[in-house]
A and B are shown apart, each in its own frame.
Chain A
Amino acid sequence: KAGVTQTPRYLIKTRGQQVTLSCSPISGHRSVSWYQQTPGQGLQFLFEYFSETQRNKGNFPGRFSGRQFSNSRSEMNVSTLELGDSALYLCASSPQYSGTAKQFFGPGTRLTVL
Chain B
Amino acid sequence: GQQLNQSPQSMFIQEGEDVSMNCTSSSIFNTWLWYKQDPGEGPVLLIALYKAGELTSNGRLTAQFGITRKDSFLNISASIPSDVGIYFCAGQLDGNKLVFGAGTILRVKS
Contact = CB atoms under 8 A, between A and B. Distances in A.
Size band of the interface chain A makes with B: 20 to 34
B95 A105 contact: no
Size band of the interface chain B makes with A: 20 to 34
Interface stretch (B17-25, B42-50, B55-63): B42-50
B31 A42 contact: no
A103 B98 contact: yes
A55 B103 contact: no
Main secondary structure of the interface of B (DSSP, over half): loop
B51 to A, nearest CB: 10
Interface in B64-104: 88, 90, 92-103
Contacts of A99: 30-31, 92-96
A20 to B, nearest CB: 19
Interface in A79-106: 90, 92, 94, 97-106
Interface in A55-99: 55-56, 58-59, 90, 92, 94, 97-99
Interface in A2-52: 4, 31, 33, 35, 42-45, 48, 50
Interface of B: 1, 30-31, 33, 35, 40-45, 48, 50, 88, 90, 92-103
Interface of A: 4, 31, 33, 35, 42-45, 48, 50, 55-56, 58-59, 90, 92, 94, 97-108, 110
